Structure 1
Amino acid sequence: MTAPARRLTPAAAGAGWDAAVGALVNPSDRRGGTLRLVTSADVDSLDPARTYYVWVWLLQRMLNRTLMAYPTDPGPAGLVPVPDLAEGPGQVGDGGRTWTYRLRPGLRYDDGTPITSADVAHAVRRVFAQDVLPGGPTYLIPLLDDPARPYPGPYRSAEPLRSVRTPDEHTIVFHLNRPFSDFDHLMAQPCAAPVPRRADTGADYGNAPLSSGPYRVAEHRPGSFLHLERNPHWDPATDPVRPALPDRVELTIGVDVDDLDARLIDGEFDINLEGRGLQHAAQHRVAADGVLRSHTDNPRTSFLHFVSIQPHIPPFGDVHARRAVHYAADKILLQQARGGPVTGGDLTTALFPPRLPAHQDLDPYPTGPDLRGDLDAARAELAAAGLPDGFEAVIGTQRGKFRLVADALVESVARVGIRLTVKELDVATYFSLGAGHPETIRRHGLGLIVTDWGADFPTEYGFLAPLVDGRQIKRNGGNWNISELDDPVVNDLIDQSLHTTDPGERAHQWRAVERRVMEHAVMLPLVHDKTLHYRNPWVTNVYVHPAFGLYDVQAMGLVRDAPDGTDS
C-alpha cells in the first residue's frame, strides 16, 4: 500500500517555477519529521573513500564531515569551500606546497569517541589503497606520493605516508610535491572524511561506517533501502554548514524511473535524491498542470552529457572512424532525446560549461547549418578509414533518457552505413561496474558509451582532468576516462595548469587541453544538461546547490502537516 499524499497547505505553497535556482524555497528552521528520499540507482558505497556518485556525495554531507565543505548557500558563495571540521581554510606555505589545517575542539563520532587529526590522516592514506578501496576520486595520490617510493596504502605497509604529518591531535599538515591551488576543494570531498584506524575494516568499512556528521546509518539493505537516524554525539555548535532538521531520513532504492516520478509527484516520496530529473512521461504531466509546474526547477547543472568513443575497440582505433560519428550526429534529434531545449539541455560542441573561465566556442566537427549532421563529411571520414560502406559497432547505455539518446544516435549514424547495436547495462552499477569498468567495455565490445559527467569540484581541473588525464584511468571500476585517453601532450598541459597562478594563463592552458582532446574525437559532446527537478511543496529549505547541480538534501526540513494531517 502506498502512503497517502501530503496535503498542500498555505504555508507550503506558491514557490513557483525555477524558484529554487539561486534562491531558497520555503525557508524554515523547524526540526522534526522524516525526510523520504528515493532513487532508481543503488548507493555506490557508504565508504567515503569509495563513493563517486554526486548524489551519494550529497548524502555523505549528512553522514560525514570534512576539513572543508561547500556551504549551504544557493548563490555563487556556494562554490567556495568553507571550514567544516577545520577552524579555518588551509594555511598555505612553501609556494603552495604546504597546507596546514587545525581541527575544531569537541568533535566526536557517533560512538562518542573524539575525532583527531590522525583520523583524517588515516582517511587520506586509505585513498592510496586502490587495490582494496577502488571507486572514489584519486586526486590526492599524485599530489602526496613519492614516485621514487610509491606508498601502497595502510593495508600493505605499516609505514606512514610521509607527506602527511600530525604534530598534535588537532593539527594536520600536507606536504604536496607540487603547488595545487584547489587543495581546499579536495579537503571538501568525502574521501577526506575522518576514519579512525581502530574502526577501519578495509573493503568492508562501508558496511558499518562511523559517522562524523549529524546522522548515522540506522539500517541499510543494499538495493532496497537506507535509513538514517540522528547522531547523538553531533554538536550543532561545531557545525557551520548543516542544519540537520529531520529526525530521520529514509531512502528507498531501486524504483523504476517512470514509477519513481509518478510516486514522487503523488506525494509518496519527498525528493528524488538521485536528481536525474523527471522522465518524459512525467514532464508531459507537469507541463499540463500549472500547480505541478510551479513545484519544478530547471537548472543548468553544468553536467556534460556526451558519448564516449573507445579507440581500443575496433574499428574506433582509426580516428577517421571516430570523426565519422561526430559528423553524422543529428544534434537536434539527440537533444530531443534528452527532453528538448527546455529540459534536455543546451546544445554544445565543446566540453567546458559556460560558467568556467576556460569555456570557448569550439566546433571542430560542424554538423551543418541545421545541426542535423554533415553526411558528406561523415562519408569522407569513413572512406579515409577504409570503411566506405560503414561498419558495425555496439553502443552501451542504460534505460531511461540514456537509452533514448542511444537510439537517437543509432538513427543518426545509420544514414551513413554505421550500424549500431544497443547494449543496456544495469542502472544501479552503470558508472561503477558498467561504463566505468574497462573490463566491461572490452567484454561487451562497447565502442560507444552514453554517459554524463559533473565536475568533482567547480574548477577546470575538477571538471576535465578525470575525463582525459591518462594517469587517472582506473582499471578496477569507477573509471571516468572511459576512452582511456593517455596523451602525453594532454597530461603535460594539465601539469602546467597546476603550476600557473595567473587565472588568465591557466584558462588559456585549459583551452589548449580541450582543443587537443577534441582532435582525438574520443568525446562527442551533446548538451550541457538542464534537468527538470520536482520538489514537493511541504519540503523546506529547497535549493539547487551550485557546486553539485542537485538539490542539497542535507539542508532540507519539513512543514508541520504530514500525510494524515498530523504533526510530521
Structure 2
Amino acid sequence: MSCRKGGYFLPARLWYDPALLQAHSGEESIRGLPAVRRGLSRFRAVLVLGPLCCCIPVRAEDSLPAAHRGGTLHLAAVGSGGTLDPQINYTAEYINLFVTIYDGLTGFRKARGPAGDTVMPDLAEAIPAPQDGGRTYVFTLRDGIRFSDGRKVTVEDVAASFRRLFRVGSPTAGAFYGDIAGAKACLADPAHCTLAEGVSPDPVHRTVTFHLTAPDTEFMMKLAFTHASILPADTPDHDTGNNPVPGTGPYHIVSYNPEGGIVAERNPYFHVWNAEVQPPGYVDRIEYRFGLTDEAAVTAIENGQTDWIYDPIPLDRLGELGARFTSQTHIEPHLTIYFAPMNVHIPPFDSEKARQAVDYAINRHAMTILYGGPAIAQPLCSLVPPELTGRMAGCPYTKGADFAHPAPEWKAPDLERARELVRESGTAGQKVTLVVANRSVDRAMGNELRDTLDAIGYHADLKPLAPALMFDYIQNSNNHVQIAIKDWSSDFPSASNFLDGLFGCENFHPGSNSSVNISGFCDGEVQALIDRAKTDVTLTDAQRADLWAQVDALLARHAPGAPIIHKYDVTFVSKRLGNFFYTHNFGLFFSQVWVR
C-alpha cells in the first residue's frame, strides 16, 4: 500500500480556501489549483533494467556529504500500524519505514518522479533475463551481504523467505506470488509449504532459481515489494508481532512499543550495493511516535517538535498551512483511492442492486470537500486512479447516467435511483453498520455516508475503530462487516493493484485478518480477464490496458466496492527538514531527508 509522487517539478504549494468548509460550494475559489493541475504528473510505464545494471558496492560512510549527516528524524502517527512483521504488515504507515530496513532481490529506484518506477537489482547482482517463455528466472545473490545482526545472507535465506510468505499467510501470497510453482499447495496447506519445485537455491553458485507455472508480466515489480524482503531463514513461521526481524537496509529497529512508538538506528552491517535502490541514510536515528492526535501532530510540526505526520492533515488546519506554512507544505500526486467495500455474502449487500444503490447515492462532491477540497481530492467513478491506464471510460453512477449512457464525469448523486434499487432489492429498512478508521477525515466521510444510507432506506450506524485495528478487522469475514470506508494505495504502478488486489478470487481468505478482498467478491468472468492480463506475454501495453479496463467495467456492474475519491497527498514537514525527497512508491523517503 505505498505511495507514488512526483518530484521532478517544484512541488505545488497548498492554497486552501476556508470557504470549502461550507456546504459543498466554493471549491472553484481555491487559489493555486491550476498550478496543482499543471504539476501533476502522468505516470509512465515501469522500466526494468536488465543484466547491465550490476552496481559497484559503495561504502555507506563515504557516500554522503558530512554536513548533512546525523541527527534524529521525528515522525508521528495517531496509532501504531500493527505488526512489525515485514511479510505481513500491509499498511503504508510501516511499509514506508520498512523500505529503509529491508531489501528484496529487486527494488525500485529511489528517485523523484517517474524515474522512481524503474525496477533495478538490489540484493541480486542483476535483473535476470527470462527463460522458458517467462516461466524461469535465475538470480545471483551478491556476495558479502549481512543482516543487521551480523549474520551473512545466503541463498537459503532467500528460499526460506519465500516459503515463509505462504506459511505466515502474507496478504499478498496469492496475488503476488501465487504463480510460483508449488504456491497452490502452499496456499492450501501453509504449514507444510516447501516451494521445492518453485524456488531452488544453489549455494555453490549463489543462485536462486524461480520457476513459475505461468508467465507473470509484473513479477519483477512484485519482488520489489516489501513482502518479498529477504529475512533470516530461522525467522519464525508465524507473525512476529512486536518483535523486529533483522534486515539488510541502512536502519534497524532497536525498540518498539505499540503504544509509544518505534526507534530505528543505523544498521552497523549495512553496505551500499546499489546506491540507486538502497542509498545510505542521512539521519542517525528515526523516532516514530504514536499517540498524538492529528491536530496535536500538526501543531508539533509547526513548533519544530516533530518533522512529519503519517495521518491526513485535519480539515480545519489546511487553511492555516496554506496561509502560514506554504514553504513546508507539499502537494504530490498519489496513486490512492478511497472506496467503500461491501460484503457480498451477508445482507443487505449480498444483493447486487443494493450495492449499486450505494454507488448511485454516494455524494462524491461532499466527500471531496470533506477530504480537503479539489486541490487535493477529486470525485472518482473508477476503481483505478486516473493517473493509471486500465480504467473504464465514463461514469455510470451519477445523476442522469447508467451503463448504457455513462456520463463523461461524475456530476451529482442520484438518490431517487438509489432508493428505487433499494426497494427492488427487498432490503429497505435493514440495519447497516459502517466501519471507518477513527481519524478526523475518515469519521467525517463516515458520517456523510451513514446519512446517505439512512436517506436511501437503511437504518445506519457508524463504527469508528482505532486505525491500527480497523484494517485487520474489516478483512476478517468472521467480524461480519457489512460496509466500510477504506483508502487503498498501489504497491507498484499498475491497475492490477486495485482490480486484482482488491477483488481477485485468490485474495479472499475467509476468517483471516489477511484477506484484502474485503468484499469477498469472486466472479469467474472477471477472474478470467484478470488472469489473462497478468500472464499473457503476447499482449501489447495497449491491449493489456484494455483488458484491465474491461475488468474495471465489470466490477462497476457488480459493485462489490464503490469508488469515492482519488487523492493527492498533502505533506507537511518541519522547517528544519531538508532535502524533501518524495518517491512514487514510498512517499517521503526517510533515509534521504536531513534535519538541520
Could you tell me the TM-score, scaled by structure 1's length?
0.87
Alignment of 1:187-336 (within 5 A): 187-200=223-236, 202-204=238-240, 207-236=243-272, 239-240=275-276, 241-272=278-309, 274=310, 276-289=311-324, 292-336=325-369
The 5 A counterparts of 1:172-187 are 172-187=208-223
Question: Match for residue 207 of structure 2?
Answer: 171
| C-alpha spacing 1:328/1:460, structure 2 compared with 1 (3 Å) | closer
Taking a change above 3 Å as real, the CA distance of residues 380 and 125 of structure 1, as seen in their structure-2 partners, is same
Aligned identity (percent) is 25
Superposed CA offset, 1:86-136 (max 9, x none)? 111132111011112112222111222211121111100001114xx5555
CA RMSD of aligned residues (A): 2.5
Secondary structure in 2 matching 1:203 = coil
1 CA distance for matches of 2:382 and 2:237?
Answer: 43
**Per-residue deviation, 1:83:** 1.2
Cα separation, 2, equivalents of 1:190 and 1:408: 35
Question: How many residue pairs were aligned?
Answer: 527
Residue 474 of structure 2 aligns with which residue? 435
Amino acid at match of 2:157: D
Query: Within the alignment, does 1:553 sit opposite 2:590 as a pair?
Result: yes
SS at match of 1:310: coil
After superposition, the Cα gap between the structure-2 partners of 1:152 and 1:145, relative to the gap in structure 1 and judged at 3 Å, is farther
| 535-544 or 52-61: bigger deviation | 535-544
Instruction: Kindly report which structure 2 residues correspond to 1:109-508, keeping only aligned pairs within 5 A, or say none.
Output: 109-130=147-168, 133-135=169-171, 137-146=173-182, 149-150=185-186, 156=192, 159=194, 161-168=196-203, 170-200=206-236, 202-204=238-240, 207-236=243-272, 239-240=275-276, 241-272=278-309, 274=310, 276-289=311-324, 292-343=325-376, 345-368=377-400, 371-387=411-427, 390-399=429-438, 400-432=440-472, 434-440=473-479, 442=480, 446-475=481-510, 476-501=512-537, 502-508=540-546
Residue 153 to residue 539, structure 1, CA distance change in 2 (3 Å): farther
Contact residue 175 and residue 506 of structure 2 kept, 8 A: no
Partner of 1:17: 13
Q: Cα–Cα, structure 1 residues 294 and 367, in superposed 2: closer, same or farther, change >3 Å?
A: farther
> Equivalents in 2 of 1:512, 1:418: separation in Å?
32
Kindly provide the amino acid, as one letter, of the partner of residue 327 in structure 1. Y
Tell me the distance in 2 between the aligned counterparts of 1:180 and 1:496: 10
Cα distance in 2 for partners of 1:360, 1:152 equals 34
Tell me if structure 2 keeps the 8 A contact 1:121–1:166: yes
The equivalent of 1:565 in structure 2 is: none
The aligned counterpart of 1:7 is none
Cα distance change, pair 69–558 in 1 and its aligned pair in 2 (3 A): same
TM-aligned CA deviation for residue 482 of structure 1: 1.1
Separation in 1, partners of 2:11, 2:361: 43
How much does 1:53 deviate? 0.9
**Is the 1:66–1:85 contact (alpha carbons within 8 Å) kept by the matching residues of 2?**
yes
CA contact 2:429–2:459 (8 Å) conserved in 1: yes
After superposition, the Cα gap between the structure-2 partners of 1:547 and 1:134, relative to the gap in structure 1 and judged at 3 Å, is closer
Is the contact made by 1:76 and 1:546 (CA closer than 8 Å) also made in structure 2? Answer: yes
Aligned to 1:540: 578
| Cα drift, residue 28 of structure 1 | 6.8
Decide which of 518, 530, 546 is 2:556's aligned counterpart: 518
Question: Which residue identity is paired with 1:451?
Answer: K
> Cα–Cα, structure 1 residues 201 and 450, in superposed 2: closer, same or farther, change >3 Å?
closer
1:40 corresponding residue in structure 2: 78
**Cα distance in 2 for residues equivalent to 1:460 and 1:224:** 36
Provide the C-alpha distance between the structure 2 equivalents of 1:149 and 1:67, rounded to a whole number of angstroms.
24
Q: Is 2:136 the counterpart of 1:101?
A: no
CA displacement, residues 141-183 of structure 1 (integer Å, 9 cap, x when unaligned):
42114378547778546x5532101123621110001000211
CA deviation profile, 1:476-524 (whole Å, cap 9, x unmatched): 1132211100111111111111222321111111111111111112211
Q: What SS does structure 1 have at the residue aligned with 2:500? A: helix
Residue 476 of structure 2 aligns with an amino acid whose one-letter code is H
8 A Cα contact 1:138 1:472, kept in partner: yes
Q: CA deviation at 1:454?
A: 0.9
Check conservation: 1:108, 1:234, Cα contact below 8 A: yes
Alignment-mate amino acid for residue 393 of structure 1? V
Q: Secondary structure at the match of 2:485?
A: strand
1:81 aligned partner: 119
Equivalent residue letter for 2:589: D
Rounded Cα–Cα distance in structure 2 between residues aligned with 1:250 and 1:156: 38
- Once the two structures are TM-superposed, the CA of residue 460 in structure 1 deviates from its matched residue by 2.0
The CA deviation string for residues 187-209 of structure 1, in whole angstroms up to 9 with x for no partner, is: 11222222222354643376141
Q: Counterpart of 2:26?
A: none
2:452 partner letter: S
